[in-house]
Amino acid sequence: MIKDIQQKILDLKSEKDICILAHSYQAKEIVEIADITGDSYKLSVEAAKVQNKNILMCGVHFMAETAKMLSPEKRVYLSHPDAGCPMAEQMEPEMILELKKREPDRKVVCYVNTTAALKAVCDVCVTSSSAVKIVKAMDAEKILFIPDCNLGAFVQKACPEKDIMLLQGGCPVHAAITRDELLEAKAAHPNALVLVHPECRPEVTELCDYAGSTSDIMNYAAKSDAKEFIIGTENSIAEHLQYRFPEKEFYVMSKRLICPNMKLTTLMDVYKSCLEVGTETKREIIMEQELIEKAKVCINEMIRLGG
Ligand code: 13P
Ligand code: SF4
């Protein structure tokens, strides 16, 4: 059954000239039929290079919006119309404009997990894999980092030469994980290395063996000689790694590390999305040209400084 649906998707993909981009948190059966899979940075870079007429993003809304900004001439669709990222909605542009008035010499760095309207008032965009590199490369000493204060604290620690101001925001899934949960996982698997996403709280990242983006965690596990790993990011990553490296053991750090928004998309949604490509559908990302122009500035800056 799964194979049949996957084949139908592959047929529709070539018939309708669709490129499927999938975030690594998507289910295995979706990752298998995607043209490109990766973390937020890879998806942004690859979205700008797509040659197909249509892009289907399997992930959450800001990812599809970013793809639309980078390829405005393409029709871009989101696999599930209700898949949003709560962090992306946490701050209003007006609030940042107000702060900019009070701190005019501070450059605003926004995490890619933000709405286009918020990106439009920021100077540079970053992803978790590029944040440290970009902040270091910026020609500014005073920075306001939004919205994720945990990723911001991670960048602060790596860039002591910068004056980085943070606001209270973050990923409700990663930030919910406690130091005790990490310690419990370590007690259960004392020989395992702990790999954690920087969206987790500093009290968690400071106890890990390695902190990095989704792709950084996967690459670290791939290259490491260690045999056991505790994965401190969305639980799909432990599952994908286990399939790729059956000779190693991957444990989830917490059963609670599940993003309900990333998990909304099913293979059937991907199939239905492909059927709807080219029609009027609520899955299509429609954006004003003016908003695209304004928000794209900080995404282009991310690609320039992070490339
Ligand atoms: P990365 O894909 O950049 O690691 O970010 C993780 C995440 O939470 C995406 O929403
Ligand atoms: Fe947003 Fe967190 Fe889910 Fe990523 S894991 S989409 S940051 S809620």
- Establish whether residue 39 lines the binding site of ligand 1, counting it when its CB lies within 6 angstroms of any ligand atom: yes
> Is the model's pLDDT at 307 over the cut of 80?
no
- Establish whether residue 195 lines the binding site of ligand 1, counting it when its CB lies within 6 angstroms of any ligand atom: no
Shortest-distance ligand to the CA of residue 66: 1
Q: Which residues pair with 230 in a beta bridge?
A: 194, 251
Q: What is the mean pLDDT of residues 135-160?
A: 97
CA distance 215 to 60: 17
Cβ-proximal residues to 27 (8 Å cutoff; 6+ apart), any chain: 236, 263, 265, 266, 267
CA distance 130 to 302: 8
DSSP assignment string, 241-272: HHHH-TTSEEEES-TT---TTTTS--HHHHHH
**Residue 159: per-residue pLDDT:** 97
- Establish whether residue 22 lines the binding site of ligand 1, counting it when its CB lies within 6 angstroms of any ligand atom: no
Cβ-proximal residues to 304 (8 Å cutoff; 6+ apart), any chain: none
| Chain Cα centroid distance, residue 61 | 11
For ligand 2, atom 3: residue with the closest CA:
259
280-304, pLDDT tens digit by residue? 999 999 999 999 999 999 999 998 9
- Establish whether residue 9 lines the binding site of ligand 1, counting it when its CB lies within 6 angstroms of any ligand atom: no
- Establish whether residue 26 lines the binding site of ligand 1, counting it when its CB lies within 6 angstroms of any ligand atom: no
> Is the model's pLDDT at 183 over the cut of 80?
yes
Q: What is the mean pLDDT of residues 221-246?
A: 98
**Residue 41: per-residue pLDDT:** 86
**Residue 44: per-residue pLDDT:** 87
For ligand 1, atom 3: residue with the closest CA:
40
- Establish whether residue 233 lines the binding site of ligand 1, counting it when its CB lies within 6 angstroms of any ligand atom: no
Pocket test for ligand 2, best of 39, 110, 113, 231 (most atoms within 8 A of CB): 113
Chain length of the chain: 307
The confidence band for 60, taking pLDDT boundaries of 50, 70 and 90, is very high
